[in-house]
C-alpha cells in the first residue's frame, strides 16, 4: 500500500493526530525532530489517519490500553541540550506555525479581530503585532510547559478595511519577524500576511449554544409514555433472535436475544445477563434489552427538563434500527416506530421550541446497519445492484451465516471496528477506508455522489422537515474531511445557526473551523482533566490548569464558548460510579462545569445521582423514584441552582477566563465581561486550606 502521510502521535503532543507530521527523507523512510523537555514519552506512528504503528526500534514499550503497545522514549542527558533564555538575542522558532489560519487571526465580529501567537517558554521578552506601520504590544495570556501565549484584539475602522501585518518577537536588541510562511531577522514587507474580509472569513458559532445547557437523552431509557408502542420484535430483522432460551437453559455468550424488560427499575441484566452462560472471560451484560422509553415519555417530562433549566436536548440516534442504541440505522429518514410517529416527534419539537428548548440529534454517517435497505440490496444482488458500491466490498457473495456460523463479515466488507452489524459507507471511489478520511481537497477524491447526496438529503430532511437545530456527529474522523465541508455548507444554508458538534476524543483543531464543525465533545480538554483532578484527585491544581489550557488556546474563542463540556456520556462510566458514589466529588465537578468556558452537558440522570459502569450499565433507565431520596433531591436542586446562576451571569457564559490560583489542590479563576466579574475558588483537598487570592 502507498502511504500518503505519517504523523508522530504521543504524550509529547497530547496525542494530537495532526500536530507533528513526519517528513519522507527517502522513499518509505519518515523522520521528525522535536524539542522536548526531559521526561518519558509514549508514542506511536499514525499512517494515513487510521493505521497505528508501534516503533519496534524503541528501547522499551508500555501497554496502550487496547491490547497493543506504545513505544517509549526517555529524553535525558543523552540528547543534546537546547538552552532557552530571555535577553540572549536568540529566538527558537521550532513548533511555531507560519500559516494564516483561525489559530492566529480570528474575526470575532465584522470589525473586531483577535490575533494570537506563541513563543517558547521564557524565550522572548515581548511580542508585537505589526499592523501596517503600527506596532501593537500583545498581552501574554497563558503559559504551559512549552510555550508562552500572546493575544491582542483590534477594532477596524469598518468591515472593508484591509492591511498587511506580521508578528514581531523582541529579545534583547534583536527582532524576529513571523511572516507569511517564513521567519526572518529582517522586516520583509513582501511576505507580510494580508488581511481582508474576503481573505479571512468570519467563523460564526450559534449564540444559543453559548447560552445553553445541554441534556443528553438515551430515548429507550428516559421515560415510557406509551406502552402501546413498546418493541414487539416483529420486524424482519429480529427473526430468529427474539426467542428466549428454553426454561433452565442459557444461551452461549454473545448469542443475540432481543427482548423487553418489564420492570423499569430492574437493571441487574445490564451488568450480568440472565439469559447467557459465562465463558472463560466471565459473564456478559444484556446488550439487547429494551425498556420502552419513547418520544411521548419525553414530551410528558418537558416540565421536568424546563424546571431543571435545560435549553438543549441532545438525543442519541432516533432512526429506525435493530439495536436499542440506534447507531445501526435501518433507514436514516424513518423515526424508529417504537419511539413514536413523525407527528409525535414534530409535536415534541414544536413544544420544546415554544419553551425555548432546542433539539439536536446524534447521527452516525460513517456506517449504517447491516439491515439498511441499500446494504441489503447490495448484499443480495452484488455488483448488479446500483447500491453495491455504496459500501466497500472485499469479496462477494457472502455465505449464509446460518450455514457458516464462524463467518467474519470484515473479510467481506469494510465495517466499523470489525462489527459486521455496522458496514461502512463508501464516500470515495478511489480510496479505501480509512485512507479516504484524511483527504481535505475534494479535487483529490473521486466522490461517490450517490452516497454523498443521499446523506446530504438526510441532513436536509431532519433540519428542514423535522425542524431540528443541529447534529452531534458520530466518529467524524472516519469520514473524509471534504464530505464534512459539503455537510456544513448544506446544513448552514438551510439553518445558519444550526449547531454542528463532532465526537472527537483528542485534539480536534483540524475539525473545528468554518469548514467543518462549530465544536466537539470536549473529552480531551474538559472531561479528562476533570476526571483526573476532581474525580480521582490524581493531579495537582497546577497540572489541572496546564491540562485545560490547550483547549482554551488551540481553538477559536467562538468555538471554546460552544464546546460540549461533558463529565460522562453513553460511552463512559457515569461520573458518580468512578467517584465510588462520593457526591461531594460530583458537586465540585459540576460547580466547575457550570462556571467554565463552554456549554455544560448533562448525561440524563446525573442530576439525581445515577450510577453505572461500562455500557450498557451507564445507560440505566432514569430513576424517577429520586423524589423518595432527600440526597438525590438535594443534588438536583444543586444542579438547578448552578444552572440558574450561569444563566443570570453572562460572564460565566462568554466572559474571559483567567487563572487566579493553582496551589496544591486549590484552584481559583476569574470570569469577567463588561457587566460583571465572578471569582471561583475550589478547594479540592480533603483538608481545609487557608489561601490568599490575588485579585
Residue 219 has pLDDT above 90, yes or no: yes
Average pLDDT of the residues in 621-634: 98
Residues 251 and 188: their CA atoms lie apart, in Å, by: 75
Residues 341/343/348/353 CA torsion (nearest 10 deg): 150
Those residues with Cβ within 8 angstroms of residue 422's Cβ, 6 or more apart along the chain or in another chain:
327, 328, 364, 367, 368, 369, 370, 415, 416
Cell of 70: 506504545
Average pLDDT of the residues in 224-232: 98
Q: Please tell me the predicted confidence (pLDDT) of residue 97.
A: 81
**Mean pLDDT over all residues of the chain?**
94
Active site residue 47: no
> For the chain, which domains are there?
6-75 (2.60.40.10), 105-202 (2.60.40.10), 209-366+449-652 (3.20.20.80), 373-424 (3.90.400), 653-683 (no CATH)
Q: Indicate which residue of 474, 545, 547, 617 is catalytic.
A: 474
The answer to whether 368 and 385 are in contact (CB under 8 A) is no
Q: Please tell me the predicted confidence (pLDDT) of residue 18.
A: 67
pLDDT digits (tens, 9 = 90+) for 550-608: 899 889 999 999 999 999 999 999 999 999 999 999 999 999 999 999 999 999 999 99
Q: Indicate which residue of 175, 392, 503, 607 is catalytic.
A: 503
- 20-29, 201-210, 344-353: which has the minimum mean pLDDT? 20-29
Average pLDDT of the residues in 393-418: 89
pLDDT band at residue 1, thresholds of 50, 70 and 90?
Answer: low
What's the whole-model pTM score? 0.89
Residue 349 has pLDDT above 90, yes or no: yes
Of 297, 355, 291, 359, the closest CA to residue 325 belongs to: 291
Average pLDDT of the residues in 144-168: 92
Cβ neighbours around 444 below 10 Å, total: 14
Handedness of CA 640, 645, 650, 651 (dihedral sign): negative
Active site residue 474: yes
pLDDT digits (tens, 9 = 90+) for 5-20: 888 999 987 787 766 7
Handedness of CA 325, 330, 331, 336 (dihedral sign): negative
Q: Please tell me the predicted confidence (pLDDT) of residue 3.
A: 76
Average pLDDT of the residues in 275-301: 95
Amino acid at each position: 500500500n502507498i502511504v500518503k502521510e505519517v504523523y508522530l502521535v504521543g504524550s509529547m503532543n497530547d496525542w494530537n493526530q495532526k500536530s507533528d507530521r513526519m517528513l519522507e527523507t527517502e522513499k518509505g523512510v519518515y523522520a521528525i525532530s522535536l524539542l522536548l523537555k526531559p521526561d518519558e514519552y509514549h508514542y506511536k506512528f499514525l499512517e494515513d489517519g487510521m493505521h497505528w504503528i508501534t516503533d519496534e526500534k524503541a528501547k522499551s514499550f508500555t501497554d496502550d490500553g487496547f491490547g497493543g503497545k506504545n513505544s517509549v522514549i526517555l529524553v535525558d542527558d543523552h540528547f543534546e541540550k537546547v538552552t532557552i533564555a530571555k535577553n540572549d538575542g536568540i529566538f527558537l522558532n521550532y513548533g511555531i506555525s507560519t500559516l494564516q489560519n483561525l489559530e492566529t487571526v480570528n474575526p470575532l465580529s465584522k470589525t473586531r479581530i483577535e490575533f494570537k501567537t506563541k513563543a517558547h517558554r521564557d524565550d522572548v521578552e515581548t511580542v508585537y503585532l505589526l499592523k501596517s506601520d503600527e506596532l501593537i504590544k500583545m498581552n501574554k495570556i497563558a503559559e504551559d510547559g512549552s510555550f508562552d501565549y500572546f493575544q491582542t484584539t483590534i477594532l477596524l475602522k469598518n468591515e472593508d478595511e484591509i492591511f498587511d501585518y506580521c508578528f514581531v518577537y523582541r529579545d534583547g536588541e534583536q527582532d524576529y519577524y513571523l511572516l507569511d510562511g517564513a521567519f526572518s531577522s529582517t522586516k520583509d514587507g513582501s511576505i507580510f500576511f494580508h488581511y481582508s474580509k474576503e481573505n479571512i472569513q468570519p467563523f460564526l458559532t450559534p449564540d444559543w449554544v453559548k447560552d445553553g445547557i445541554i441534556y443528553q437523552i438515551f430515548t429507550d431509557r428516559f421515560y415510557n409514555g406509551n406502552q402501546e408502542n413498546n418493541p414487539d420484535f416483529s420486524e424482519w430483522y429480529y427473526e430468529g433472535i427474539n426467542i428466549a432460551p428454553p426454561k433452565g437453559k442459557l444461551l452461549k455468550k454473545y448469542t443475540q436475544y432481543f427482548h423487553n424488560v418489564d420492570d423499569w427499575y430492574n437493571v441487574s441484566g445490564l451488568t450480568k445477563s440472565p439469559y447467557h452462560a459465562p465463558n472463560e472471560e466471565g459473564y456478559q451484560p444484556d446488550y439487547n434489552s429494551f425498556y420502552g422509553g419513547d418520544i411521548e415519555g419525553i414530551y410528558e417530562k418537558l416540565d421536568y427538563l424546563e424546571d431543571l433549566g435545560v435549553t438543549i436536548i441532545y438525543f442519541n440516534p432516533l432512526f429506525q434500527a435493530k439495536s436499542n442504541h440506534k447507531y445501526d440505522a435501518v433507514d436514516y429518514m424513518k423515526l424508529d416506530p417504537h419511539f413514536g410517529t413523525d407527528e409525535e416527534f414534530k409535536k415534541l419539537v414544536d413544544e420544546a421550541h415554544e419553551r425555548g428548548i432546542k433539539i439536536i440529534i446524534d447521527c452516525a454517517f460513517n456506517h449504517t446497519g447491516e439491515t439498511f435497505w441499500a446494504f441489503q440490496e447490495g448484499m443480495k444482488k452484488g455488483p448488479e445492484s446500483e447500491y453495491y458500491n455504496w459500501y466497500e466490498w472485499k469479496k462477494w457473495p457472502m455465505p449464509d451465516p446460518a450455514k457458516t456460523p464462524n463467518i467474519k463479515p470484515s473479510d467481506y466488507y469494510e465495517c466499523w471496528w470489525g462489527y459486521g452489524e455496522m458496514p461502512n459507507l463508501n464516500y470515495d471511489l478511489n480510496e479505501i477506508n480509512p485512507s479516504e478520511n484524511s483527504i481535505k481537497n475534494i479535487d483529490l477524491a473521486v466522490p461517490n455522489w450517490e452516497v454523498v447526496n443521499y446523506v446530504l438529503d438526510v441532513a436536509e430532511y431532519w433540519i428542514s422537515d423535522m425542524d431540528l437545530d443541529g447534529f452531534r456527529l458520530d466518529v467524524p474522523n472516519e469520514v473524509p474531511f471534504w464530505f464534512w465541508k459539503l455537510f456544513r455548507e448544506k446544513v448552514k444554508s438551510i439553518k445558519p445557526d444550526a449547531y454542528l458538534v463532532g465526537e472527537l476524543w483528542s485534539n480536534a483543531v483540524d475539525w473545528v473551523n468554518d469548514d467543518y464543525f462549530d465544536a466537539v465533545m470536549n473529552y480531551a480538554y474538559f472531561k479528562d482533566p476533570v476526571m483526573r483532578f476532581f474525580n480521582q484527585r490524581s493531579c495537582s491544581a497546577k497540572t489541572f490548569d496546564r491540562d485545560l489550557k490547550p483547549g482554551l488556546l488551540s481553538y477559536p474563542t467562538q468555538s471554546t464558548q460552544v464546546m460540549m463540556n461533558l463529565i460522562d456520556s453513553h460511552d463512559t462510566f457515569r461520573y458518580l460510579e468512578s467517584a465510588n458514589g462520593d457526591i461531594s466529588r460530583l458537586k465540585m465537578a459540576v460547580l466547575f462545569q457550570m462556571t467554565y468556558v463552554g456549554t455544560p452537558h448533562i448525561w440524563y440522570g446525573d442530576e439525581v445521582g445515577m450510577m453505572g459502569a461500562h455500557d450498557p450499565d451507564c445507560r440505566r433507565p432514569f430513576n424517577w423514584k429520586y423524589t423518595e431520596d432527600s440526597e438525590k433531591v438535594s443534588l438536583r436542586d444543586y444542579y438547578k441552582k448552578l444552572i440558574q446562576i450561569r444563566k443570570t451571569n453572562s460572564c460565566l457564559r462568554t466572559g474571559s477566563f483567567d487563572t487566579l490560583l493553582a496551589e496544591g489542590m486549590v484552584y481559583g479563576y476569574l470570569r469577567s465581561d463588561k457587566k460583571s466579574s465572578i471569582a471561583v475558588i475550589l478547594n479540592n483537598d480533603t483538608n481545609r486550606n487557608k489561601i490568599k487570592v490575588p485579585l
